[in-house]
Structure 1
Amino acid sequence: MGRTQESWLPPPPPAGAHWISPPQLFEPVSCTYTYLLADLKTKEAVLIDPVLETAKRDAELVRELGLNLLYAANTHCHADHITGTGLLKKILPGCRSVISRDSGALADILIREGHALEFGAFALEARSTPGHTDGCLTYVLSDRTMAFTGDALLIRGCGRTDFQQGSSETLYRSVHEKIFTLPGECLIYPAHDYTGQTVSTVDEERTLNPRLTQSCEAFVQLMNNLNLPQPQQIDFAVPANLKCGIQDAAT
């Protein structure tokens, strides 16, 4: 079952590998997970889904570990927080912002399906998983042991589909075709969790996710009737995130 912050420790790195397993860095207001991955031999690193309010914390960790942050990569254009990429680029020169070209956002690097973000001996493959937004990406580690799913797939849930070009049918296809086809033991790391869980697996979500184990028709009906309130930060988060890492971080 999905592990909690109290009950789960990161797995050891692959045999012979020189790398940091992803520490989950938590931002409590939006319940966002930020992930730091690094090759310890080359010191090259990637940060996934940084948050503005915790960017200084993340930069300090990067410095403490002696890492060279190559990329601050977003899984999509978030509506519930402002990305920390702009501030990270100011604090850590050489860091470049990354987002999907299909998001409509600005960034130093715009990527699509199949693009690989390389850091040392490792790489993150971008898989297009739209449905929550048009520009959602899932980043899959090159050995397919880990997938960073953003809001497309959460632990026992998924992202909402009622704004930002959302489509329930598209999200259902994305998860089933691009995430559930990964190896069953592949670890699932979501962008958010609201109950304290930290990680799941493809097998767990493929068999236990109460939304995505339904038929596509039932899933669409469920998603169309969630009646959720708008995210509190959406009016200023989305415009800022459309300038993903290009915006003046001071504003």
Structure 2
Amino acid sequence: MIFRQLADPTSSTYTYLLADSDSREAVLIDPVFEQVERDAAILHELDLRLLYTLDTHVHADHVTGAWLLKQRLGSKIAVSAASQAEGADRYLADGDLVQFGARHLEARATPGHTSGCLTYVLDDRSMAFTGDVLLIRGSGRTDFQQGDAHKMYQSVHRRIFTLPSTCLLYPAHDYRGLTVTSVEEEKRFNPRLGIAIGEEDFVGYMKNLGLPHPKQIDIAVPANMKSGQPADGQDKASAQHWAPLTYTFAGIYEIQPDAFEENAATIQLVDVREPSEFDGPLGHIASATLVPLGQLGTSIDRLDRTRPVVTVCRSGARSAQATVLLQRAGFAQVANLAGGMLRWRAEGHPVVGGKA
């Protein structure tokens, strides 16, 4: 099985990718709207087909990427039937299975943080994805969205702590950089829900947290009740629509050599190699302006901010860093020439100078 844990630093949300390595069928748990391009990139790079997005609950701190992924990749949306969210393709009840290839996840109803919380348990019970019901050495809140401390305590003790002690538990959030725990660890060390703590102790604990109102709740909850669909029902295209581009999991937009040739007339090409390389064995592209990477920061004013910029180097590594520097400097339309001059020459595209 293929497994990846992905993080959104803004909301401290974890998104989980699980895929069957034979069929290449995949599911995403708790995708984030702003991270859809990242998620699509890793699915593409690993040659995976997204069957379902699964939300553990209606989130109050970020907007789900479920609707946007459906628009772009054709995946189906699955949520808890108790959530009452609109726009899903499948509404899950306790005990339902979500199949991907030869593997599946079992949906376990674990209300308490919200009434529609689900924990997803992998078929061999080696992993479980607990949403906000059980966090690492903590728990989600119970003071809004139908929260109920009594239900949360019962959900954790009856539906999660009954899993094997070695079962790894992956929460929807962590605010300290922790990534994974286990049933055994949480039974022993969770200061709110540990096995020795009684239900009334937990309820008293939760009544006195005194936490502030979630910053994004007024935006996130209404959007998530529609599975993340924007109010205008439109998938706003990226600003990077000036040419056919590929978004990599490293967070870099790339343009393929053929696509660059087709759009070269409208593009500023910046070669970030050293002068000796520019005039060296690989040669250079006729329209390129030489700006070595080390001088890029002091040469920004040489570039037209109204036109797209493509960067190039020997292999694509230095020019990838150049795209990051240009974006930080306020350039909105920037891409890296995939494979650099090595690929350009290997595919037979024209150069100035260089050796045969």
Paired residues for 1:1-251 under 5 Å: 19-20=1-2, 22-93=3-74, 95-106=75-86, 107-213=88-194, 214-245=197-228, 248=233, 250=235
One-letter amino acid matched to 1:162 = D
- Displacement after TM superposition at 1:228 (Å): 0.5
Question: How many corresponding residue pairs?
Answer: 231
Aligned-partner Cα distance in 2 for 1:249–1:134: 29
- Specify the SS of the correspondent of 1:205: helix
| Larger RCO: 1 or 2 (CA < 8 Å, sep 6+) | 1
Aligned-partner Cα distance in 2 for 1:112–1:72: 16
One-letter amino acid matched to 2:214 = P
Structure 1 runs of 4+ off > 3 angstroms?
none
Higher alpha-carbon Rg: 2
- Displacement after TM superposition at 1:202 (Å): 0.4
Aligned-partner Cα distance in 2 for 1:219–1:137: 20
Give CA deviations for 1:13-72 in whole Å, capped at 9, x if unaligned: xxxxxx11x211100111000000000100000000000010110011101111010001
- Displacement after TM superposition at 1:138 (Å): 0.1
- Specify the SS of the correspondent of 2:180: strand
- Displacement after TM superposition at 1:250 (Å): 3.3
Give CA deviations for 1:119-177 in whole Å, capped at 9, x if unaligned: 01100000000000000000000000000000000000000000000000100000000
Identity %: 58
- Specify the SS of the correspondent of 1:79: coil
One-letter amino acid matched to 1:116 = L
One-letter amino acid matched to 1:250 = D
Return closer, same or farther for 1:174/1:249 CA change in 2, 3 Å cut-off: farther
- Displacement after TM superposition at 1:230 (Å): 1.1
- Specify the SS of the correspondent of 2:35: helix
- Displacement after TM superposition at 1:246 (Å): 5.2
Equivalent pair of 1:47/1:69 in contact (CA under 8 Å): yes
More helix by share: 2
- Specify the SS of the correspondent of 1:197: coil
Equivalent pair of 1:89/1:245 in contact (CA under 8 Å): no
